[in-house]
Structure 1
Amino acid sequence: MMLSQQEISDRLEIQDLMVRYCHAVDTRQWDLLDEVFTEDALIDYTATGGARGNLAEIKEFLAEVLPAFPAFQHLIANPAISVDGDAATGRTMCHNPLVLPDGGVLNCGFWYLDTFVRVDGTWRIKERVEEASYSCTVPPPPT
């Protein structure tokens, strides 16, 4: 399949957008999410036990819940992106280990199912839904 230069550019811009999402969450800079999502975005983390809501509600949820974890890190891979003009869809794998207060680690695996739109020449996420894959807890190291 031969991709046009525009589609190559669109896919790279969307992948960069997803990395910016991970950076915003992993560094707890919730306001950076304003540059990732559309103003009317719908975000659904319910498949992994989280919240569903608009951007303001999700920022509040993340700011309330994630401080319980001393550390966490999103690792995204295998993005399957389909671009159609100023719209796109994607399915991206994510591995997200979360350090628990006792030193154990909760490993979560899921996919981001995204709908993207180009707004004023910039790609944004309009809808994000998590699809659960696995989770397992590694006990804390012996003391």
Structure 2
Amino acid sequence: MDVEEMAARLSILDLYAQYTHAVDSHDGDLFADCFTENGYTDISSFPTVDHLREASLPWLNSDGTIRGSQQLSLAVSGGGPQTVSLHHCTMNTWVKSIDGDKAEGAAYFVVFANDDGAVEHYGVYEDSLARCDDGKWRIDRRIDRCLYERSRG
């Protein structure tokens, strides 16, 4: 592993940390900056997505994706009902491969509710990443694979 690859891996790890801090602080601009211009996250595996679709939220597409800077920013900065404040943790982050300005990564995530400390949901992020023209690594495609989601009903 050469110095350039080590630097890329550290930048990608920093991106994963930026993502969780941006979500938890409801910083839409910081969150959108985690993604490429046309980047997206796919949350369709979450059981609550049907409820979110019914709410006709402006940031959620019918296929369960949140796509592009405007939707991504709105999704975390108050563009819908925020029933609980959350605390995201990522672990076992794995930069699977780097090929020039493209990379593949994955991480486990656990999200805790701040109101009672219970696990709200957990799963796996599966990512395609890109190094952008400004040299920063960003998420081009994120699949949020939900393995558990707590029922608040």
The separation in 1 between residues aligned to 2:117 and 2:103, in whole angstroms, is: 38
Deviation by residue 1:83-121 (Cα, 9 ceiling, x = unmatched): 111000111100001246xx5734311111111101121
Question: Pick from 76, 83, 107: which aligns with 1:92?
Answer: 107
Matched position secondary structure for 2:130: strand
Q: CA RMSD in A?
A: 2.1
Using structure 2 for the length normalisation, give the TM-score: 0.77
Matched position secondary structure for 1:67: coil
Q: Which residue is equivalent to 1:8?
A: 6
Q: Which residue is equivalent to 2:141?
A: 127
The answer to whether the 8 Å contact 2:31/2:72 transfers is no
Q: Where is the strand percentage greater, Structure 1 or Structure 2? A: 1
Residue 12 (structure 1) shift: 0.8
Q: Where is the helix percentage greater, Structure 1 or Structure 2? A: 1
Number of residue pairs matched by the alignment: 133
Residue 125 (structure 1) shift: 0.7
The separation in 1 between residues aligned to 2:114 and 2:119, in whole angstroms, is: 6
Say which is worse superposed, 121-130 or 52-61, in terms of deviation: 52-61
Residue 27 (structure 1) shift: 0.4
Using structure 1 for the length normalisation, give the TM-score: 0.81
The separation in 2 between residues aligned to 1:10 and 1:16, in whole angstroms, is: 10
Matched position secondary structure for 2:82: helix
- Percent identity, aligned pairs only, is 27
Q: Which runs of no fewer than 5 residues in structure 2 stay unpaired?
A: 50-59
Greater C-alpha radius of gyration:
1
Q: Which residue is equivalent to 1:36?
A: 34
Residue 132 (structure 1) shift: 1.7
| 1:109 is the counterpart of 2:107 | no
Show structure 1 runs of 4+ deviating over 3 A.
103-106, 135-138
Q: Which runs of no fewer than 5 residues in structure 1 stay unpaired?
A: 139-143
